[in-house]
């Protein structure tokens, strides 16, 4: 299936209620499963990753002390968080996933968990899912990890750290990337009375043996924020539009999310942000920028959105901090290289961590077709080009359900025309 997407006026107007944060939802679901005190979660994300995680946690609770196989599909966060969760939960658990998931490395997390006392076997290829996990109470330990590993590995360990008999200390070798996602995890632990801290100029983290507790209010409810990563696509649409006056409801400031840096980044591309009581209002201003450089180490999920935006606005750019993009849903660097070429833009790989994007001074025809590579962020990032061309065609549009299932419906609310072809 393909969608042809167009916008008759090229003006972004109106308002939407933005989808909830997948990152925050997935963390609070693990905390809820580990907390002995019951509490309600409101505004849980409808993202496929979150739906899968919630379903598996519910099934695991019902099937205690039984050997069970759980299929996470393409949900990378679920695979990583559940690997740690099941390691500390008694019973035998088999974790598998899609063919792409079986090619996404997990050895760094497995090795760390083994150091903590976990019993994990690879069922097929060494270093990759599926996994057979024999859960038990873990002792905990002081371990060492490279600082440039996926923050999801570190967050997975931090989420189970209060359950470890001797607590957890992680010493990092080299610079720690995606630090905001780690800080999000630590802040959410603190919300539930578990305290961890950075040490020695942020080169190590420690969490002692503790217990999760909900706040003492009798009607305590955890409210999940709207998703700043998803907001980035609307910022890109605004930057590429002729005019913009648009309200996005549900976003908070300050925010737990590292991608809340979106307003600062897009101010360079003529998008002004005003915080209002129920979210934000964005509008279009004049842009004067020819060169742009940015390090995405703390916000890698924004790289594709900015790559499309800069190429479409004819801005030369240098992107750093991209080393984790190759092990996502697809090799995102190669995918960007292929698809941006359709705009006449060249993507030059400087090393494993950096690319240069050289846009074309003359855009191609009025309708372009883009592949999505089974990657939700490719689909949503390239959709913004409907503001620059008569229409764009997006292949396999259903991939957006991984993080933003309401994306296409929200586009219709904002005046986009979407045709199935």
Long-range pairs for 34-38 at CB < 8 Å and ≥24 separation? 34/85, 34/159, 34/160, 34/162, 34/163, 34/212, 35/192, 35/212, 35/213, 35/214, 36/211, 36/212, 37/212, 37/213, 37/214, 38/214
Cis previous bond, 254, omega within 30 = yes
Question: Could you tell me how far CA 355 lies from the centroid of its own chain?
Answer: 21
User: CB neighbours (10 Å) of residue 162?
Assistant: 25
Beta strands in 234-308 (DSSP E): 243-249, 271-276, 279-284, 291-295
The active-site residue, picked from 49, 227, 301, 410, is 301
218: how many CB neighbours lie within 10 A of its CB?
Answer: 5
Is residue 301 part of the annotated active site? The answer reads yes
The alpha carbon of residue 223 and the mean position of all alpha carbons in its chain are separated, in whole angstroms, by 19
List strand residue ranges (DSSP E) for 180-242, in order.
196-199, 204-207, 221-223
User: H or E element: which one contains 417?
Assistant: strand 417-420
User: Are 23 and 254 within 8 A, CB to CB?
Assistant: no
Active site members? 301
């Amino acid at each position: 299936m393909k969608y042809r997407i167009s916008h008759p006026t090229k003006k972004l107007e109106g308002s939407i209620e933005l989808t909830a944060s997948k990152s925050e939802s997935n963390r609070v679901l693990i905390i809820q499963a580990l907390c002995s005190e019951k509490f309600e979660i409101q505004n849980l994300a409808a993202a496929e990753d979150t739906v899968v995680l919630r379903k598996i946690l519910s099934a695991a609770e019902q099937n205690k002390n039984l050997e069970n196989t759980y299929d996470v599909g393409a949900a990378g966060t679920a695979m990583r968080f559940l690997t740690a969760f099941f390691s500390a939960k008694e019973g035998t658990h088999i974790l598998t996933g899609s063919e792409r998931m079986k090619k996404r490395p997990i050895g760094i997390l497995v090795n760390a968990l083994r150091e903590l006392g976990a019993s994990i076997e690879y069922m097929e290829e060494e270093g990759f899912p599926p996994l057979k996990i024999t859960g038990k109470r873990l002792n905990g330990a002081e371990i060492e990890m490279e600082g440039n590993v996926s923050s999801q590995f570190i967050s997975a360990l931090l989420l189970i750290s209060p359950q470890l008999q001797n607590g957890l200390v992680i010493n990092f070798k080299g610079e720690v990337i995606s630090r905001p996602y780690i800080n999000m995890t630590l802040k959410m632990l603190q919300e539930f009375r578990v305290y961890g801290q950075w040490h020695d100029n942020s080169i190590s983290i420690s969490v002692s043996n503790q217990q999760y507790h909900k706040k003492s209010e009798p009607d305590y409810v955890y409210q999940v924020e709207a998703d700043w990563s998803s907001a980035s696509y609307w910022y890109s649409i605004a930057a590429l539009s002729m005019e913009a006056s648009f309200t996005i409801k549900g976003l908070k400031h300050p925010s737990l999310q590292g991608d809340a840096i979106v307003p600062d980044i897009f101010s360079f591309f003529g998008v002004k942000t005003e915080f209002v009581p129920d979210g934000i209002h964005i509008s279009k201003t004049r842009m004067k920028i020819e060169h742009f450089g940015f390090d995405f180490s703390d916000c890698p999920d924004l790289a594709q959105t900015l790559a499309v935006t800069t190429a479409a606005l004819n801005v030369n750019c240098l992107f750093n901090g991209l080393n984790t993009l190759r092990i996502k849903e697809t090799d995102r660097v190669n995918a960007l290289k292929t698809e941006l070429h359709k705009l006449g833009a060249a993507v030059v790989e400087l090393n494993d961590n950096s690319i240069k994007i050289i846009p074309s001074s003359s855009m191609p025809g009025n309708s372009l077709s883009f592949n999505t590579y089974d990657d939700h962020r490719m689909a949503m990032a390239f959709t913004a080009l409907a503001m620059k061309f008569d229409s764009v065609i997006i292949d396999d549009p259903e991939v957006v359900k991984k993080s933003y299932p309401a994306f296409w419906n929200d586009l219709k609310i904002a005046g986009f025309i979407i045709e199935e072809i």
